[in-house]
Amino acid sequence: MNFNLEIEGLSKTYSNGVKALDDFTLKIPPGIFGLLGPNGAGKSSLMRTIATLQEPDEGSITLGEIDVIKQKDDVRKVLGYLPQSFGLYPKIKAKVLLNHFAVLKGITNKRERKSVVESLLIRTNLYNVRDEKLHSFSGGMKQRFGIAQALLADPRLIIVDEPTAGLDPSERNRFHNLLCEIGEGTIVILSTHIVEDVKELCSNMAIVNKGKVLLQGDPNTAIDNLENRIYSKTVSKAELVECRNNYSVLAEKLLRGEHIIQVYSDEKISDGFKLVKPELSDVYFNQIYQSNNY
């Protein structure tokens, strides 16, 4: 059975004139799908539209046989959503609030609900703190609680918006492991501006900017396509200005007072530049550079 998420010609302009989505077209299969883009690229607008929280001006979205725009209730039955910012009742215990969310999700049988809540608390490594109030939770624990509520009722589509922003390395790694487990047989959309998250988790991705899809495909293939096209050089502050004028400078890093730049070029360049192995960050910056300079 086809259960892809297919987005066709989606457009959205807000009342302040900002065009958040511009003829946005994307096909997302089961698995973890990375959605990369800078702040303001349209990622959150897309997530809200898929999650039935806002209407597009034009276009269509289908999830398998479900028309996402017309059949909102059917979408919500199979959707788990972890937005970038979400509120929790600080004085309520974790298991009590998750039980409440389970009721709202339609799990009305008390015995079944207890089993589901306990299973999810174990799965998200929160069972030992189930009787603690949520104000005592760390940022990573709150994110894992957010995933627990998103997993209620076995969703077939899960949306997570900037889930690892602000997490320390150990919490980020734990969250990655959880997403990998969830992504087997389920569509998981990971919306982020953190390139490393996509590289580590996703076999399929899209890079977006200004409400448009710039590139879609396998991250490793996209990296291979930049082979022999990425150069690096350490330059002075004066040279930096000249390089910006003469080359496609994708990234700049200040290290011990020296500027290290990454440059894209289809032709071989010398002048002290060193050919380097491309990374997914180079793919990302190259797509954004071209989009901003088009």
Write the single-letter amino acid at 46: L
> Which residue carries 């189930």 as its tokens?
130
Give the CATH fold of the 5-88+145-218 domain.
Answer: Rossmann fold (3.40.50)
pLDDT digits (tens, 9 = 90+) for 201-252: 999 999 999 999 999 999 999 999 999 999 999 998 888 888 999 999 999 9
Q: What is the domain partition of the chain in residue ranges?
A: 5-88+145-218, 91-136, 228-276
Q: Is 160 left (phi over 0), alpha (psi -120 to 50) or beta?
A: beta
Confirm if 168 and 141 have CB atoms less than 8 A apart: no
CA 71/CA 50 separation, integer angstroms = 11
pTM: 0.88
- Statement: residue 258 has pLDDT above 90: no
pLDDT digits (tens, 9 = 90+) for 58-115: 999 999 999 999 999 999 999 999 887 777 888 999 999 999 999 998 899 999 999 9
Find the distance separating the first CA and the last CA of the chain, reported in whole Å: 40
pLDDT digits (tens, 9 = 90+) for 124-137: 889 999 999 999 99
- The pLDDT of 137-164, averaged and rounded, is 88
CA 208/CA 212 separation, integer angstroms = 5
Portion of the chain with pLDDT greater than 70, in percent:
99
CA 269/CA 84 separation, integer angstroms = 42
pLDDT digits (tens, 9 = 90+) for 14-31: 999 999 999 999 999 999
**Cα 33 versus chain centre, distance:** 8
Q: Pick from 188, 155, 208, 195: which is nearest to 278 by CA?
A: 195
- Count Cα neighbours of 271 within 13 Å in the Cβ-side half-sphere: 12
- Count Cα neighbours of 37 within 13 Å in the Cβ-side half-sphere: 29
b/e code 35-69 from CB counts within 10 Å (16+ = b): bbbeeebbbbbbbbbbbbeeebeebebbbeebebb
